[in-house]
Amino acid sequence: MKRQLMVGVALAGLTLAMASIASAKWEIVRAGNLVFGDNGGISPTTLPKQGFAPATARIIGKVGTVDGTHPPALSHVEADIDKTIRVDATGLPTCRLNQLRARSSADAKRACGAAVIGSGSAEVEVAFPEQAPFSSTGPLVLFNAGVSGKTTKFLLHAYVDVPAPTAIVIPATVTRIHKGRFGLHLEASIPRIAGGAGSATKFELKIGRRFTYKGEKRSFLSASCPSGNWMTKGRVQFDDGTEAAVSHLFSCTPQGGSR
């Protein structure tokens, strides 16, 4: 009974901490001792019932443990995204992996500034053997890495002190699919941080870019709202073998018709 009470208090505390970050609804999943939460959405929330309008996305995540110990490292993320969300990087400048390796955020943006499509921040907790864990927060920058057929490639650059200033580059892809209500599939594999001693505990990323290509105004992200909601469904994997299924239903307001 005492352990159940402690678990309940820990989960409640984590939920309140998440709620303090943003007013939107958090989706919280527990897998054993691990707790993962995600939040975010599309802006604006009022979108065409028919057709698509330019949009930006906000992605927020938090990783913790019920007992407060150092969490395992996030190793892989995949998600299916509602077909009411579209990605179009055609005509955007691209960035290559070797342009971002071992570079600070400022140097990365100098090398590939024209390819930036998002920015944010990340927190990493590092726990070396026989040392107290410490946390470090650094910037995130998302770069367009090109389009190949149905797949759009990205490079997510983080720069954090672990404890030395370190660049972490995460390749990711978004592929067009036809799977019921889902139209995009996202995959990303996260490299080891600080030799495996580092774990991402918080991240927030805002994604969006307006640009002109061949005289036509475009938006990297666009969205519609035919039914009053849109959905993501995915899976997160950690280096200790833990997996968690995550789904999130977001609300939106259709423009040009009632729900």
What is the per-residue pLDDT across 130-167, written as a single tens digit (0 to 9) for each? 899 999 999 999 999 999 999 999 999 999 999 999 99
**pLDDT confidence of 25, banded at 50, 70, 90?**
confident
**Cα(65)–Cα(70) distance, integer angstroms:** 7
Q: Tokens 């290509």 identify what position?
A: 213
DSSP 20: H
pTM metric for this prediction: 0.88
Of 229, 51, 201, 203, the residue nearest 139 (C-alpha): 203
Residue 193: partners with Cβ closer than 8 Å, 6 or more residues away = 73, 124, 126, 160, 162, 166, 168, 199, 200
26 pLDDT tier (thresholds 50, 70, 90): confident
| pLDDT tens-digit series, residues 238-259 | 999 999 999 999 999 999 854 4
Tokens of 17: 């901490």
The whole-number pLDDT of residue 59 equals 94
pLDDT of residue 54: 98
